[in-house]
Chains A and B, each alone.
Chain A
């Protein structure tokens, strides 16, 4: 009967007292959730959309810097001996530049309040991001200082290549930051090599 009244109202383009009462009864009987499922507000409770490609690239770059920093910290410990005194300053200089890289990259990442970025693994859980086993930023530090420095050079080059490979998905200002960081990391390679020549 209520349905008939509503149909009649719709045909007339009016809302009768009877149809309002019918709707009220439907709410009282528990039909409200069914009505609400058609609202956009409920859809917001569903699975969030995947992050945009530039956000993924930024998170990946942040992870790479964090793993590189962890690696530098390990090499600094390895070099903090009389045998490594000639290179430890150079290593710390590069380490400081990675700290600056990380700070700038993080400043560009704005996470929605309360979000937990599931596609943002921790530095310790994902040691490899370059696809090259010999150049992974998070790979274990080799036993000798010369070997560790060589591995750092390879990791720097791999990190630089990876950043340049991601430029296509980035907005202009972020692309410039990535390109600049990539250039810095590429320049670390000859810098570390020269330091090793002088200090080892």
Chain B
């Protein structure tokens, strides 16, 4: 695995975390104020901010410049209800899981392990928002053998 591939995978994970951090702001705004669910969204938002910080450090430590977050992100679908907010949170987690699988493909064991732990954390959070599990979190269907 080349250094460019490593940085590319780290940048992709960072981008997904930045989008999730932004998205959770939308999620929280559409959940009942002061509810346990909103508190859960806040907890998950903190997890994504911290993960983004970790990725920023990992990229900088390799002599590259972390790509800054965008000012705003296009939502995958309109969000105006609690159900839509929960669906957005689950979608954000799916995308984060997929991005971290890029780290799992690297040969550097520490990055592979970090990526796998983050895929797992995202899948657990997604279950909390969606209410059900998926057989292959983060893996596109095209990568599965028939």
Contact = CB atoms under 8 A, between A and B. Distances in A.
Interface residues of A, number: 32
A194 B130 CA distance: 12
Contact of A187 (B116, B117, B134): B134
A191 B112 contact: no
B101 to A, nearest CB: 5
Mostly helix, strand, loop or mixed at chain A's interface? helix
A183 interface: yes
Nearest to B105: A172
A200 B120 CA distance: 27
B112 A187 contact: no
> Which interface residue of A104, A176, A179, A188 has the most chain B CB atoms within 10 A?
A179
Contacts, number: 100
Contacts of A101: 135
Interface in B76-110: 97, 101, 104-107, 109
Interface string B18-49: 00000000000000000000000000000000
Contacts of A167: 104, 109, 112-113, 116
Interface in A155-200: 160, 164, 167-168, 172-173, 175-184, 186-191, 194
Contacts of A189: 124
B137 A184 contact: yes
Interface of B: 97, 101, 104-107, 109, 112-113, 115-117, 119-120, 122-124, 126-128, 131-139, 143-145
5 contacts: A172-B107, A179-B101, A180-B101, A182-B119, A184-B123
Interface of A: 93-94, 96-97, 100-101, 104, 107-108, 160, 164, 167-168, 172-173, 175-184, 186-191, 194
